[in-house]
Amino acid sequence: MTKYVFRSPSRYIQGAGVIADLAKETEAIGKSPLLIADEVVWEITEESIKESYKDSEIEFDFEQFNGEASTKEIDRLADAGKEHSSDLVIGVGGGKTLDTAKAVSDELGIPVVIVPTTASTDAPTSALSVIYSDDGVFEGYKFYDKNPELVIVDTAIVVNAPLKLFASGICDAMATLIEVKATLKRNGNAMAGGKPTLASLAIAEMAEKTLFDHGYSAYKSVKEGVVTPAVDAIVEANTLLSGLGFENGGLAGAHAIHNGFTAIDGKIHDLTHGEKVAYGTLVQLVLERKTEKEILKYIEFFKKIDMPTTLKDMHLEEKSFEDLIEVGKLATADGETMENLDPEITAEQVANAILAVDALSK
């Protein structure tokens, strides 16, 4: 039986200053929240969040996220939630914090509210988490029965995050349509648990159009720390459009190659999720035999927003071909999303495509 599935958060709110409404928006969801954020994010958001809850009857319990979306960290925070008798998890921060918050809420069987402080990934809206080892090596995806109850994005906070994170979110979102098209062509499965819907394709198309139309303008605005209509458009594209697009439309080569990069030691681990997805997107285009003109369109765009397009940018210029083969092995492992591009792609083909992107970019 062919099954088409579309899923999404119950509610999405975006705008400058909306974190002031966090207490009001969560009162109907839970009365004893467990709030999770890392040390840096908490320094940025603590005052605003406490001000939001000042006149509320709700008191939240804070637990610091230690930096890795690993089983060990999820278990630790879930135990804290049990001790506090939490009935709601609120994740505040970047992709790994948010993925951890979703996993903790699933362990406890309670709702989750997501508060991204960057527009760096499309993780916030989805009903899944990417799980890593304690050392940051990709282990797999964890899927949930429900999407977040609420996603609330304060663009005034987002524009004050590091510029690289904003650009990284653009790159993560830029992979969406490319991967959805590949999944449709292969008649593959989306992360939502069925075949891609027409809605997911339409959303992915709007995401890419928005990125090309407004991405560079928004990048320059964020560089100055100001919220403009272009910034609002890109935050929505990075977070909502890309999130709904990938979950309901499918992942393919770009994210499989991102995961493959975790097989390599070194400075590549200093790069963001979106930076690695950017290069993975270019590798997928090579594997799809796209024309040089089409690939260069993406390369030139990534260069304009200072994202990686060469082996040197990726800290891979000193790596051997055998190292790149290891990337390919992990990217083409059983169950990886490379299957939505072509299950017959080999590790050697991935390694050669990584080199080809470098040559094209130069």
Catalytic-labelled residue, pool 38, 122, 214, 255: 255
User: Dihedral through CA 172, CA 177, CA 179, CA 182, nearest 10?
Assistant: -170
CA-CA distance, 140 to 157, in Å (whole number)? 30
Q: Are residues 140 and 184 in the same domain?
A: no
Q: Are residues 172 and 145 in the same domain?
A: no
Within 8 A by CB and 6+ apart from 108, the residues are: 78, 81, 82, 86, 89
Q: Are residues 154 and 167 in the same domain?
A: no
pLDDT digits (tens, 9 = 90+) for 50-92: 999 999 999 999 999 999 999 999 999 999 999 999 999 999 9
CA-CA distance, 47 to 273, in Å (whole number)? 28
What is the average per-residue pLDDT within 109-123?
Answer: 95
**Do residues 258 and 154 make contact, with C-beta atoms less than 8 angstroms apart?**
no
Pairing mode of beta strands 138-143, 128-132? antiparallel
What is the pLDDT, as a whole number, of residue 330?
97
User: Phi then psi for 98, rounded to 5 degrees?
Assistant: -70, -40
* Mean pLDDT, rounded, of the chain: 96
Catalytic-labelled residue, pool 258, 313, 342, 358: 258
Within 8 A by CB and 6+ apart from 57, the residues are: 27, 31
Active site residue 134: no
What is the pLDDT, as a whole number, of residue 137?
84
Catalytic-labelled residue, pool 106, 122, 154, 172: 172
Active site residue 172: yes
Percent of the chain with pLDDT over 90: 95
Place of tokens 């071909």: 321
Q: Are residues 189 and 120 in the same domain?
A: no
- Please report whether residue 354 resides in a domain: yes
**Do residues 40 and 160 make contact, with C-beta atoms less than 8 angstroms apart?**
no
pLDDT digits (tens, 9 = 90+) for 212-263: 999 999 999 999 999 999 999 999 999 999 999 999 999 999 999 999 999 9
Q: Are residues 96 and 124 in the same domain?
A: yes
pLDDT digits (tens, 9 = 90+) for 121-147: 888 999 999 999 998 888 988 999 999
pLDDT digits (tens, 9 = 90+) for 275-299: 999 999 999 999 999 999 999 999 9
Q: Are residues 150 and 200 in the same domain?
A: no
CA-CA distance, 108 to 97, in Å (whole number)? 16
What is the pLDDT, as a whole number, of residue 136?
84
- Looking at 120, 138, 158, the residue that finishes a domain is 158
Q: Are residues 98 and 206 in the same domain?
A: no
Work out the widest C-alpha separation in the chain, in whole angstroms. 60
CA-CA distance, 331 to 313, in Å (whole number)? 20
- Please report whether residue 2 resides in a domain: no
Q: Which domain holds residue 298?
A: 163-361
Active site residue 255: yes
| Domain of residue 129, CATH code | 3.40.50.1970
Tally of domains within the chain: 2
Task: Write b or e for each residue in 98-137: b if 16 or more Cβ atoms lie within 10 A of its Cβ, otherwise e.
Answer: bbbbbbbbbbbebbbbbbbbbbbbbbbbbbbbbbbeeeee
Active site residue 214: no
Catalytic-labelled residue, pool 38, 232, 273, 342: 273
What is the pLDDT, as a whole number, of residue 1?
78
Name residue 140's amino acid.
G
CA-CA distance, 191 to 179, in Å (whole number)? 12
**Do residues 119 and 235 make contact, with C-beta atoms less than 8 angstroms apart?**
yes
Higher pLDDT, 22 or 95: 22
pLDDT digits (tens, 9 = 90+) for 337-356: 999 999 999 999 999 999 99
